[in-house]
C-alpha cells in the first residue's frame, strides 16, 4: 500500500502536468525500489499478529492462538525465501506454506492434544488466503468485465486449491503415523480477550499491507467501522446480511476518504474487505470435505461464494450511494 500511495501521488502530479513523462518514469523506478516502510522485523510481527488475532476470533483457544502465531512467523520466513528464490518456488508458495503449516500443526497436536490443528493451520496461512481476489473477480464479472473478472476469480480459486492441497497433505503426512482429533473447547478465550484479538488482527493487517504511517489510523478506522457494522447487522438480521452491510460500510467509508484525501481507494478498502475473509470459509469447507464430512464441507464452500457475492453487492451499492472518485 505504501508504493500504491506514492504511485497515486505520482499520477496526480502527472495529470496536473507538474511532471514530464520522463520524470514520472524515473520516479516510478524509485518507487519500485523502495523498501518496506515498516522494516523486516515489524513486517514479520504483522504475520504473527494476524495469525494470533484470527485464531482468537474464530473460537480458538489460547494454545491455538499462541501456536498459530509461531507458525505464522515460520510462514513469513517461507514467504521471504520465496521472494528471494523466485521461479518455481514462488509459484509453489501457497502449497509449500500450507503444507509446512499442516505438518507442524498436526505434529504439535500429538504432544498438545488440546489444540485444533485445522484451525491452527488456517490461522497460520490466513494472511495469504486470496479472499479479496475472489470477491474482486466477482465484482468485475458483475460490472461486465467478464474476461478480467473470470481471470481473477479463477486465479483466486486455484491459489485456494493449492493451499488446501498443501494443508491437507501436511496433516495427512502426520496422520500416517499418528491419529488425533481436534479439540475446540479447552482454554477458550474469554470475552475480555476479544478486543485484544481484534486489535492484533487489524494492526497486523495494516502492517502486512505496508500502510504508510499517515494512513495507519484511517485503515484501522475503516477495518473497525466495517467489522462493527458486520457484528451489529449479524446480531439484528443474519450473518449474510451482516457481510452485505459491512461491505457497504467499507465502500462508503473508502469513497468518502478518497474524496477527502485524493489518495487511492484501495489503501483503506482492501484491508477492510480482508477482514470479511470469504476465502477462509472456502478453505475450511475444503478441509471439512477432506475429513469426510461432505455435506457440512459443501455448505461451507457454498457459503464462501455467498459471502463473496455479498461483498460484491455491498461494494456496488456503496458506489451507487456515493459515486467513487476514479483512483488506483
Distance of CA 268 to the CA centre of its chain: 13
C-beta separation of 15 from 47 below 8 A: no
C-beta separation of 194 from 56 below 8 A: yes
In terms of pTM, does the model score above 0.95? no
> Could you write out the DSSP letters of every residue in 77-144?
HHHHHHHHH-HHHHHTHHHHHHHHHHHHHHHHHHH-TTS-HHHHHHHHHGGG--HHHHHHHHHHHHTT
Delimit the domains of the chain by residue range: 212-328
Nearest to 270 by CA among 229, 209, 202, 207: 209
Cα(6)–Cα(37) distance, rounded to whole angstroms? Answer: 12
Average pLDDT across each block of 10 residues of the chain; the chain has 328 residues. List them in order: 70 70 76 76 92 84 90 94 86 92 92 87 86 72 77 85 88 77 45 79 88 89 90 84 89 90 84 70 54 60 76 86 71
Amino acid 181: pLDDT: 55
Three cell numbers written together for 222? 475503516
Amino acid 186: pLDDT: 38
Q: Where are the beta strands (DSSP E) in the chain?
A: none
Enter the DSSP assignment of 188.
B
End-to-end CA distance of the chain: 11
Amino acid 295: pLDDT: 62
Cα(202)–Cα(124) distance, rounded to whole angstroms? Answer: 16
Amino acid 300: pLDDT: 65
Unique residue bearing C-alpha cell 515498516: 38
> Based on the number of CB atoms within 10 Å of its own CB, is 280 exposed (0-12), middle (13-18) or buried (19 or more)?
buried
Amino acid at each position: 500500500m505504501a508504493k500504491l500511495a506514492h504511485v497515486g501521488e505520482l499520477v496526480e502530479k502527472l495529470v496536473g502536468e507538474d511532471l514530464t513523462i520522463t520524470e514520472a518514469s524515473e520516479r516510478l523506478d524509485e518507487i519500485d525500489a523502495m523498501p518496506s516502510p515498516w522494516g523486516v522485523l515489524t513486517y514479520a510481527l504483522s504475520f504473527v499478529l494476524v495469525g494470533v488475532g484470527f485464531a482468537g476470533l474464530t473460537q480458538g483457544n489460547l494454545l491455538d492462538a499462541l501456536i498459530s502465531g509461531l507458525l505464522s512467523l515460520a510462514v513469513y520466513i517461507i514467504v521471504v525465501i520465496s521472494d528471494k528464490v523466485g521461479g518455481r518456488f514462488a509459484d509453489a508458495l501457497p502449497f509449500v506454506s500450507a503444507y509446512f503449516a499442516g505438518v507442524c500443526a498436526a505434529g504439535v497436536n500429538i504432544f498438545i492434544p488440546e489444540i485444533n490443528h485445522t484451525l491452527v493451520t488456517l490461522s497460520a496461512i490466513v494472511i495469504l488466503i486470496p479472499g479479496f481476489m475472489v470477491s474482486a473477480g466477482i465484482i468485475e464479472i458483475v460490472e461486465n468485465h467478464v474476461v478480467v473478472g473470470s481471470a481473477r476469480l479463477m486465479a483466486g480459486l486455484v491459489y485456494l486449491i493449492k493451499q488446501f492441497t498443501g494443508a491437507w497433505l501436511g496433516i495427512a503426512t502426520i496422520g500416517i503415523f499418528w491419529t488425533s482429533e481436534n479439540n475446540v473447547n479447552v482454554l477458550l478465550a474469554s470475552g475480555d480477550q476479544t478486543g485484544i484479538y481484534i486489535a492484533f488482527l487489524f494492526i497486523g493487517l495494516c502492517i502486512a499491507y505496508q500502510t504508510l504511517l499517515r494512513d495507519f489510523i484511517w485503515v484501522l478506522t475503516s477495518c473497525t467501522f466495517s467489522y462493527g457494522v458486520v457484528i451489529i447487522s449479524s446480531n439484528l438480521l443474519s450473518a449474510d446480511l451482516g457481510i452485505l452491510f459491512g461491505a457497504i460500510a467499507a465502500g462508503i467509508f473508502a469513497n468518502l476518504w478518497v474524496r477527502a484525501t485524493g489518495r487511492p481507494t484501495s489503501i483503506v478498502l482492501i484491508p477492510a474487505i480482508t477482514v470479511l475473509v470469504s476465502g477462509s470459509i472456502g478453505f475450511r469447507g475444503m478441509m471439512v470435505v477432506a475429513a469426510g464430512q461432505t455435506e457440512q464441507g459443501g455448505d461451507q464452500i457454498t457459503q464462501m461464494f455467498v459471502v463473496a457475492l455479498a461483498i460484491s453487492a455491498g461494494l456496488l451499492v456503496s458506489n451507487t450511494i456515493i459515486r467513487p472518485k476514479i483512483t488506483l
